[in-house]
Amino acid sequence: MSSTSDRPTGRPRTIDPAAVSLVALRLFDEQGFDAVSMDDVATAAGVSRRSLFRLFPSKASLVWGGLDEFAVRFTDELRLRPASESAWVALRAAYRVGATFPDDTIEITRHRLRVIRANPSLERGGEAASTALTGVIERFMAERDGGSVDDLATRVRAHALAAAASTALTWWATHGEGRPEDVVDEALALFG
């Protein structure tokens, strides 16, 4: 039986969620999402199982953590675009800004996208965020073009744009070429 003097004193160590997520994503990418347990992640990350579940309530949450930052950069940039700019030019610029990941997140983003691509069941975990982002695009297009979010043209263009950007990011993650913002911009230029 251990005494209280065996326990470390002072403040508990701080756990970096991004570092834990990177460890998990590397494992998922190398061994397969289904082959890695939360216990495996906790052990590899050097954290307790309890701490891991406090930060990430599920394996899927380890994967989907970075979408929020992309969406914030994207929507913030849309708000800054001049009203005189066409919807297309503004959206392309906003996607470029959204896809400009900080250098210290490039590796984690690449792993995240590869894991999602390799595990179609994970796509359901990002549906709400993806649907919300597509809704932002629909509303923006409707406002700039004077249409309605219910117009067939607005819906098709918004969904095509979102799909093209997503496909470009996945291509970047699996091919390892260039910067993500350049690859997304190149893909969106195909619509030009």
Q: Which residues does the chain have with pLDDT short of 50? A: 1-3, 5, 7, 10-12
Three-state secondary structure of the chain: CCCHHHCCCCCCCCCCHHHHHHHHHHHHHHHCHHHCCHHHHHHHHCCCHHHHHHHCCCHHHHHHHHHHHHHHHHHHHHHHCCCCCCHHHHHHHHHHHHCCCCHHHHHHHHHHHHHHHHCHHHHHHHHHHHHHHHHHHHHHHHHHHCCCCCCHHHHHHHHHHHHHHHHHHHHHHHHCCCCHHHHHHHHHHCCC
pLDDT per position as a tens digit, 8-39:
554 446 888 889 999 999 999 999 999 999 99
What domains does the chain contain, in order, with CATH numbers?
12-62 (1.10.10.60), 66-189 (1.10.357.10)
pLDDT confidence of residue 24? 95
pLDDT confidence of residue 128? 79
